[in-house]
Structure 1
């Protein structure tokens, strides 16, 4: 959260950012992290002297695929072992990740 009455001046960023007026926070989105784009930055300045106003930092992320590299090879019926047509949609979602 930003200090009341303070608005950031963003000097450098990757991805997209926006000032969230309802929560008075900076929302920053890095759309893709992969071997070619492994990190991102958001550099900004803001008035005020209460450094504690920036903590805790709340982080949310979603990743496609399996961290363990596990995937389904096939799906079979229990009663007769016959194959079943299926699709797989694996993702990693974090409920809460906080930097303090």
Structure 2
């Protein structure tokens, strides 16, 4: 299989060095303008506008997801109970065997 151009180890090191140099230069740090203060009323308006953009899940989807989570938690609990019981039995038998001999 042919290599892609620029995928040689040397090319990758060169790109990494260029990226590191660009990130460490002071010009790379964006100079953002200071944030202007907003009144509490304007802030509340912006919060409401952002809240309207949220797409909430339907009741049906929430119910299905909740049931699936409950099923998975139950299965995980059963699995760990079986593993715990099995290990406990095995260790008990091993210790009985060690004490008997």
Normalising by structure 1, report the TM-score.
0.22
Instruction: From the CA coordinates, give the structure whose radius of gyration is larger.
Output: 2
Normalising by structure 2, report the TM-score.
0.22
Q: From the two aligned structures, give the one with the greater strand fraction.
A: 1
Q: From the two aligned structures, give the one with the greater helix fraction.
A: 2
